Amino acid sequence: MPHNTLSGHLAELAQAGLVESRRDGRSVLYSADLDGLARLVGFLVEDCCGGKPEACDESHPLLARIGELVRRERKSATDRIYHVLVLCTGNSARSIMAEAILNKLGQGRFRAFSAGSRPRGEVHAEARALLSQLGYDVSWLRSKSWDEFAKPGSPNMDFVFTVCDDAAGEACPIWPGLPMTAHWGIADPAAAKGSPAEVRAAFAEAYRLLHNRISLFVALPFEALDEVALRSKLKEIGGLKGATGRATAAAPAPAAE
């Protein structure tokens, strides 16, 4: 095979996690990534065995390794902690409430953060009062810039959700980990006009809509969903009653929609 053709094939295999490479002087040395190969074959074995790889013949050393990796992958998917960043322009109301709700409903399986493209620098008084009334600890809440989460050493995000249409249309930083993104836009309660009771009702409605969406999100069977199915679920959640703008979901990308 011509050298340039071989290099192209090897580069594709390396990107897929099936071979490893290291440089030795002017040469690049490739070798099989056995764990990556085992995960690939493990997926095929699991698929062919009706989700029960232990039913396959594991007398062969490779199949035994495959079964071990499949079981390990399942356990890590169940035990892992998902990092979620919720974005809004001002980071004073909707994204703050979503952060609080997700940290509570996530029960340690989810670690939520919130930020804004142009943060107001303070949490809206009505958002703080409502969360406090509902039993949330509000002492740690603060309005902050999304730049905090694009710096080296920031947590790698698994998901980035925008909850206001303005933030969904802005160019975001490149997030560490290239998370999956989705838009879950709802009306801004901070823009509500009228009596104090009407403003409080707007915040209560925003809380209800966010709580409904986040309840569905944390209940998703992440370990059983592939990327396409998960994106579809996130889009469905974003399109629930009360949605503003266009609810969308994307594959891992440098920016939210």
Overall average pLDDT of the 18-25 stretch: 82
Our answer to whether residue 56 is catalytic in this structure is: no
End of a domain among 19, 43, 78? 78
Our answer to whether residue 172 is catalytic in this structure is: yes
Q: Specify if 256 maps to a domain.
A: no
**Domain check: are 34 and 89 in the same one?**
no
Write the CA distances from 10 to 42, 43, 103, integer angstroms.
Answer: 22, 22, 43
Annotated catalytic residue within 48, 49, 56, 164: 164
Please, which pLDDT band fits residue 256 given cuts at 50, 70 and 90?
Answer: very low
Overall average pLDDT of the 136-164 stretch: 90
End of a domain among 50, 78, 106? 78
Determine the Cα–Cα distance for residues 48 and 45; give it in Å rounded to an integer.
5
**Domain check: are 117 and 197 in the same one?**
yes
Helix (H/G/I), strand (E/B), else coil: 236: helix
**Domain check: are 23 and 92 in the same one?**
no
pLDDT given at position 143:
95
**Domain check: are 88 and 212 in the same one?**
yes
Read off the pLDDT of residues 171-182 as tens digits, 9 standing for 90 and up.
667 676 678 899
pLDDT, averaged across the chain: 83
**Domain check: are 70 and 88 in the same one?**
no
Which of 214, 233, 238, 237 lies closest to 222, judged by CA? 233
Our answer to whether residue 164 is catalytic in this structure is: yes
82 vs 36, residue with greater confidence = 82
Look up the CATH number of the domain holding residue 16.
Answer: 1.10.10
Angle of the 94-105 helix axis to the 125-133 helix axis, nearest 10: 20
pLDDT given at position 103:
95
pLDDT given at position 255:
34
Cα–chain-centroid distance for residue 57?
36
**Domain check: are 141 and 20 in the same one?**
no
Annotated catalytic residue within 48, 49, 56, 172: 172
Look up the CATH number of the domain holding residue 205.
Answer: 3.40.50.2300
Q: Global pTM?
A: 0.66
Which of 5-19, 68-82, 235-249 shows the lowest mean pLDDT across its residues?
A: 68-82
**Domain check: are 131 and 64 in the same one?**
no
Is the model's pLDDT at 134 over the cut of 90?
yes
Is the model's pLDDT at 55 over the cut of 70?
no
What range does the domain containing 128 cover? 81-250
**Domain check: are 97 and 61 in the same one?**
no
Partners of residue 27 on adjacent β-strands: 24
Tell me what percent of the residues of the chain surpass a pLDDT of 70: 77
**Domain check: are 107 and 199 in the same one?**
yes
